[in-house]
Amino acid sequence: MRVIEQQFDSASSRVPTEWSAINWRKVQRNVRVMQHRLAKATSEGNWRRVKSLQRWLTHSFCAKALAVKRVTENQGRRTAGVDRQLWETPQHKHAAIANLEKSRYRPLPLRRVNIPKPNGKLRPLGIPTMRDRAMQALHLLALDPVLETVSDQNSYGFRKSRATADAMSQIFIRLSRKGSAEWVLDADIEGFFDNINHDWMIDNIHMDKLILKKWLKSGVVDGKQLQATTAGTPQGGIISPALANWTLNGLEADLIAHLDAKWGVAKAKKLKVGVIRYADDFVITGASQELLANEIQPWVEEFLALRGLRLAKAKTKIVHIDDGFDFLGWNFRKYSGTLLIKPSKKNVKAFYEKLRAAISDNLGATQENMIRLLNPMLRGWAQYHSPVVAKQAFSRMESLIFWRLMRWAKRRHPTKRADWIRKKYWRSIGNRNWVFACEVATEQGGKAIMDLYSLASTAIERHTKIKGAFNPYDPAWEMYGEALRKERMVKNMRYRKEWITLYVDQRGKCALCGNEMDFDTGWHDHHIEYRMVGGSDALGNRVLLHPNCHSQVHQRGLKVTKPVPV
């Protein structure tokens, strides 16, 4: 720890005097080392050391610089708080690092912004000032390793390397077998972010209590009126998802422990109880309706009451798997004993309304611009549903889009016949007919065909669920994390091209043993400087290794160097 402190001591002349002079690789590595120590101390239950490490990290130059970097490079960097200030120049950013001092820190009220929800209601967001955002990012660096170490294994929302598809896969595991649970408690928390008890958070969340209390009590400016905040954590803050996750932590582990203590481990296992949570949305499986209604739901209500929360009676229900339920945009239901997961009707309808509005709002757009507008929307929706039974939904959506675009084209040319419109806007490409496409100019001065993304051609591929115990701050999981990233990157054409580049640079040979690699031997994408200690995804930090060589590198701590390209 002393070595790291000496590298970037705030009182040292070695501290960069300009934003452009900061060595971000070293900054990232130093922060990562401290986060690893935080995760280790947490797993050992050494809370005094956790507090000490958190204090050191939040006072370090590296963590402050990284926090300022995050809030000045994310999507919200151009959105100001109540003070209307932004950090846009290198001088502002460097000065902000020294301004992140706890002793003279007092957060300003949040600026209330309402954004529309899919159901037509408004979602209130609280926009902090740049300084408050940076302070939240700073303390999140110290909180997240602790949170990841103590989190429930089947909690998937707002956590590193976890996604909705992981939650979906876990539900499939819990419900798909012949002897699986048949009943599900589909729960909904009433006004989750608005009602979390402040006292509970201050008493139970392992972070700086004084700072946390200041954030929770900072107030909100709605219009020109200042409103006090007596409960809840505002949506919109960088640290809010972590605070929300901490609030519901234990929903799975404590429930299983309660059942084991009451019924015994063997009998409790036969109850087939499983908790799958994504942020504040969760479902609980059970062997019977009576178990969920008389045992599980009362326990959940008591668990939430301690945190100032309660279930929404109108939306919380107990359903049989043969009747199905919606969760995270999918419908889970058994048909003749087979569990099928499909895009939910509500999700499909909401997406179509989004497309319809986009087309209707751009009646005067050119075909090229219309394709550029719709393709990211179509591709994102298709990729989200690609791990489930979605072919029927994709085909149906393509049919609806076709007729919507036909109406768009007819409106542009009200005097033209349908055959003329078809020839102008639709083409045959390969074995596909009626493709909405047009010619566009290339950078080389030639012509190319740009076509609308084909939902029906989207491949359906089962998602590989992340292991519940995975901890991104534990070096023991580094190799698993690399393998998981590789598997998920295979679908990305950019990474395929990068592997070809690495393969050619290494002359097709393993960077460790020097023997040849091919499809029979396989290969792993290895980061020379581990991502967990700040290593980047740049090609200069990556090599290809045999799978066995990759295992030896991690197990024996071997060092790998970058081969010199021929």
Q: Is 557 helix (H, G, I), strand (E, B) or coil?
A: coil
Buried b vs exposed e over 100-136: b needs ≥16 C-beta within 10 Å? beeeeeebbbbbbeeeeeeeeeeebbbbbbbbbbbbb
DSSP collapsed to 3 states, 107-130: CCCEEEEEEECCCCCEEEEEECCH
Q: Which of 326, 392, 338, 322 is nearest to 164 (CA)?
A: 326
Q: Options 2.130.10, 1.10.30, 1.10.443, 1.10.10; which CATH number does 475-556 get?
A: 1.10.30
What is the rounded CA–CA span in Å between residue 26 and residue 8?
9
Q: 151-197+232-342 architecture in CATH?
A: 2-Layer Sandwich (3.30)
pTM for the predicted model, two decimal places: 0.83
Q: Per-residue pLDDT tens, the chain, 566 aa: give them.
A: 443 344 444 334 477 888 888 888 788 889 999 999 999 999 999 999 999 999 999 999 999 999 998 898 877 788 888 888 899 888 999 999 988 887 788 999 988 887 776 666 777 788 899 999 999 999 999 999 999 999 999 999 999 889 999 999 999 999 999 999 999 999 999 989 889 999 999 999 999 999 999 999 988 888 778 888 888 777 778 999 999 999 999 999 999 999 999 999 999 999 999 999 999 999 999 999 999 999 999 999 999 999 999 999 999 999 999 999 999 999 999 999 999 999 999 999 999 999 999 999 998 899 999 999 999 999 999 999 999 999 999 999 999 999 999 999 999 999 999 999 999 999 998 888 899 999 888 766 778 889 999 999 898 989 999 999 999 999 899 888 878 877 776 665 556 677 778 877 887 788 888 877 765 567 788 888 887 666 777 888 888 888 778 877 887 788 888 876 55
The position carrying tokens 């003329």 is 420
Contact 197, 302 (CB under 8 A): no
What are the residue ranges spanned by the domains of the chain?
19-149, 151-197+232-342, 345-457, 475-556
Q: What are φ and ψ of residue 385, in 5° steps?
A: -95, 5
What is the rounded CA–CA span in Å between residue 439 and residue 458?
23
Q: What is the CA radius of gyration of the chain?
A: 27
